[in-house]
Structure 1
Amino acid sequence: MKQILFLLMLSISISTVYGQDKIIKLSGDTITCKVKEITDDNIKYSYEGEDLINNIHQNVVKEIIFKSGRTQKFSERVIVNSEEDWEKVKITTLESDITGLVKGEDIMAKASSGWSTTNQGKMQMKAMDKLKKQAAAKGYHIVLLITTTGTGGHYGISGGTKASVTGVGYKYE
């Protein structure tokens, strides 16, 4: 009789654990819950036995495994190990792209040319590439662009073409 009761309790506890949705975060953490709603930016969920609705931004979610077995994918983790991964770094001006990520430090990069006829856009791209390399070296996979400046690029202007960019690095938890 004790064995039957034990098996019954075990099956109830297993069905409770496996009868819930699982939010898999890009950090590798798992949230076992009931997904209530998926909006354009957020996933609303509640924990077992609670009425409180929690939000998590889709930027930090890899996938949801629903209790039905269906999987819905959201994002893939961008792995930046060193400056060599600089091309993986994303530059953004949208604050919604960094929601849920961990804020890092300010990063600034400059590029200049000794020739006054050098294209301003070319110097801006060089500065952006330098910014991505600095971000990658610090482990950031996304940079929120704060300012961009440029001067020169025309005949008759001395000092050549200059560009600078400033941003803030962000990464996963």
Structure 2
Amino acid sequence: MKNLLLLLIILSITYGVSLSQTKNDKLFLQHETKEVNVKEVSNNTIKYTYPGEDVIYSISKTLVDKIEFSNGRAEVFESPFQEVNSIMDVPKVFVTFNPTDVEGLEIKGDLFSKAVGVTTLSSVNNVNNRALKKLKTEATMMGANVLYIGNQFQRGNQFGNEYTPGNSTMTTYSAKAYSSNSLNIAAAKEMIENHQFYQHQRIELARNDWNPTFKVFQRVDKDLMPILFDLGEIIEKDGDLFLAPKEFKFKGAHLQVVRVGDDMITLMQRTDKSVVNYILLSDNNELVKNQIKMVQQRKENKNNKN
């Protein structure tokens, strides 16, 4: 009996040790959880291997919400990136000069901005801020929330004399736009295929302008009912979605889906002359539903009077 009891104890300990050795760490990302073996946590990156493998992978800490270690300890990370959902969120765009900050992020495109002072008395800071704001605005319209500045040139005011003309202050930026929140392709397709849309707004930032222009649409029928339409065929290419709505005019063959919310969608067209956003509200948007309800109520009241 004693030998049997001793055997059970040994087996229990062996099983517990084996179980603890096979339990993995967990990386909690935005859209998924990975079971891994964490090897190193540095200032900017996390190095890990997959169970049963020796290849070491690296991921930016900005993409990881939490590590849950096999021993039960958890480490939570605070991302410097904020959600950028509309043109009103331009100040939230994160700007960095450190390339490791954007490792693993989805690149949206290259950007360039240049600002020159009006006179040799122009404020250097104001000119710099103007150039940077334009970069952040264009990045927002491209569906990005992070800017990596690869090159910055800044010239101060240069006062001239009777022989040499002066030069006002100038700032130029070369940058790349990134997104830490990849477009949820499945959710975007579901929304596009199962809802109708209302053309709400057009926003354009011309290449030589500092601020975007806005145009708000009022597309209604004779009864003031919002005109809703389908977005048509969805084209998926290299992880991006493109549409070609027939109900309004735009240049080019397709518009890119850059942002999808609960009840609205943002389409983009970018050329060497400008970047344009089309804001479409779904039939589930409160503004659209309230307008429809108001028209229906008006019709009902009119019928009751008759």
- Category of TM-score, reference length = shorter chain: 0.7 to 0.9
Tell me how far apart the structure 1 counterparts of residues 154 and 58 of structure 2 sit (CA, whole Å).
Answer: 40
Contact map agreement 1:33 1:46 (CA 8 A) in 2: yes
**Relative to structure 1, is the Cα distance of residues 23 and 159 closer, same or farther in structure 2, using a 3 angstrom cutoff?**
same
* Cα distance change on mapping 1:160 and 1:36 into 2, 3 Å: closer
Choose which of 121, 132, 137 in structure 1 pairs with 2:136.
Answer: 132
Match of 1:165 among 163, 166, 173: 173
| Correspondence list, 1:36-55, <5 A | 36-55=39-58
Which letter does structure 1 place at the counterpart of 2:175?
A: G
TM value normalised by structure 1:
0.74
Q: Give distance in 1, aligned partners of 2:152 and 2:50.
A: 44
Residue 118 (structure 2) pairs with residue 114 (structure 1): yes
TM-score (structure 2 length as normaliser): 0.45
Q: Could you tell me which amino acid in structure 2 is paired with residue 169 of structure 1?
A: A
Unaligned runs of 5+ in 2: 1-18, 183-306
Matched, 1:92 2:96: yes
The one-letter amino acid paired with 2:28 is I
d(CA) in 1 for partners of 2:125 and 2:71?
51
Give, in angstroms, the shift of residue 169 of structure 1: 0.7
Deviation, structure 1 residue 124: 0.9
Residues 146, 46 of structure 1: CA spacing in aligned structure 2 closer, same or farther, 3 A cutoff? closer
Q: Deviations over 1:65-120 (max 9, x none)?
A: 12333221223352112222111112222111111212221112233342321122
| CA distance 1:36–1:116, change in 2 (3 Å) | closer
In angstroms, what is the RMSD of aligned CA positions?
2.7
* Structure with bigger gyration radius: 2
CA contact (8 A) 2:153 2:173 kept: yes
Aligned residues: 157
| Identity within the alignment, % | 28
* Structure 1 residues without counterparts, runs of 5 or longer: 1-14
Q: 1:52 to 1:159 in 2, by over 3 A?
A: closer
